[in-house]
Amino acid sequence: MSRGLRGSLVAVGLVAALTTTGCVGSAPSEAGASGDTIKVGVLHSLSGTMAISEVTVRDAELLAIEEINAKGGVLGKKLEPVVEDGASDWPTFAEKAQKLISQDKVATVFGGWTSASRKAMLPVFERNKALLWYPVQYEGLESSPYIFYTGATTNQQIVPGLDYLKEQGKKSVFLVGSDYVFPRTANKIIKAYAAANGMEIVGEEYTPLGHTEYSTVVNKLQQAKPDAVFNTLNGDSNVAFFKSLRGAGITAETMPTVSVSVAEEEVAGIGPDNIAGHLVAWNYYQTTTGATNDAFVAAFKATYGANKVTSDPMEAGYNAVKLWAAAAEKAGTVEVEPVKAAAKGIALDLPEGTVTIDGENQHVFKTARIGLVQPDGQIKEVWSSGAPIKPDPYLKGYDWAAGLS
């Protein structure tokens, strides 16, 4: 009968031990800027479903930090990355963000991939008046004063993709997406665009994240016979989707797809044979021309292996580190408010071209690029907006988008 007693004593002992160790472990650490180094947080999913994508972004960010350190650091101090695992779990992102801010006292955090992780971290950064650099294209309709968005917003990726389809004379479009926030919001925007531009949406299908059975969706595509497919599937699902498409005999000539979440990394996973000839919309490709990109690609391969590819989110993560460092140098401090003020209008020559921070909404100017997947797994640019497009997260400059936000 005294089993209850012993069990309870176990609990008491455990909690006591944890309280004391927690206390020891949490001895106030040095502030980000004191000492010889400046701590910066790197917060991506290193485990779970998103790890496969986010690890590459972490690598690119660490590369940028190394490069900055090799040139003497920021304000004469070396950067010290504090890496945390968001574990593909949104509350964990919030927890780790809080840990980086209050425990490690980092000067800034680079992190996130899914919109869900960003939405989870947003209140943490706003509450602590700390800074997050978010490196992935997303669905827009957001502009937090404590987040810098170095990926594309909708008017820099999805809208140009639609413009391109319109230009090519595609009249009917089928929407295929993973069932979560980005595809649903993106498709809402696409439908508004289509309504205003005389395009017809002939179908809209969502599958759960990680779904791998696409014969039903492909059947529906064969019945609807759209001129093009707009694909917002994420992750592994793309592999199954493109294999099913090919298996059903649908080719890029008869029914091209435009994908907004398939970059070089994913093309390798899908198999270039399965997706060659289809279109993607991004702001950067490994093949983007320019000396800065050549240097970036070479440095990445030198650090992580010759068979590695570089992709748009990786480049945006790399840019985020470089942009923050430039802003800190300009501000003369790593304090959040001065850095934010200094970041306005900063323009750097980065792999995708000249990147300028728009002070108004803390997004960046980006050149839209439509690419064609090549049989060797690389992506060839077939269309570009020419000049960087001003970010417009709320699509205020588009009459057809009036009802969206």
- Cα 232 to the chain's mean position, in Å? 14
Residue 196 near another protein by CB under 8 A: no
Count of CB atoms situated within 10 Å of the CB of 301: 14
φ, ψ dihedrals at 19, nearest 5°: -60, -45
Q: Binding of another protein at residue 9 (CB under 8 A)?
A: yes
397 binds another protein (CB under 8 A): no
- Spatial distance between the Cα atoms of 151 and 141, rounded to a whole number of angstroms: 14
Site string for another protein, 20-59 (x = CB under 8 A): x-xx-xx-x-----------------xx------------
Give CA separation, 73 vs 11, 36, 320, in Å: 47, 10, 15
Residues 66-105 binding another protein (CB under 8 A) are 83-85, 87-92, 94-96, 98-99, 102-103
Q: Does 193 bind another protein (CB under 8 A)?
A: no
181 closest CA partner among 234, 91, 116: 116
Check binding of 303 to another protein (CB under 8 A): no
- Cβ atoms of 158 and 189 within 8 Å: the answer is yes
- Of 1 and 70, which has the nearer Cβ to another protein? 1
The gap between the terminal CA atoms of the chain, to the nearest Å, is 63
Which stretch, 2-10, 263-271, 317-325, 385-393, contacts another protein (CB under 8 A)?
2-10
Mask: binding to another protein, 99-138, rule CB under 8 A, as x and -?
x--xx----------xxx--xx-xx---x-----------
Residues in the chain: 405
Whichever of 82 and 342 has its CB closer to another protein, that residue is 82
Closest CB to another protein among residues 2, 289? 2
Asked if 65 interacts with another protein (CB under 8 A), we say no
- The one-letter amino acid at 138: Y
> In terms of CB distance, is 3 or 71 closer to another protein?
3
Our finding on whether 402 is near another protein (CB under 8 A) is: no
CB distance 110 to 42 below 8 Å: yes
Q: Scanning the structure block, which residue is given the tokens 């992780």?
A: 117
- Give the C-alpha separation, 58 to 25, whole Å: 26
CA distance 331 to 177: 42
Question: Given the rule CB under 8 A, which residues bind another protein?
Answer: 1-16, 18-20, 22-23, 25-26, 28, 46-47, 83-85, 87-92, 94-96, 98-99, 102-103, 114-116, 119-120, 122-123, 127, 141, 179-181, 184-185, 188, 206, 208-209, 403-405
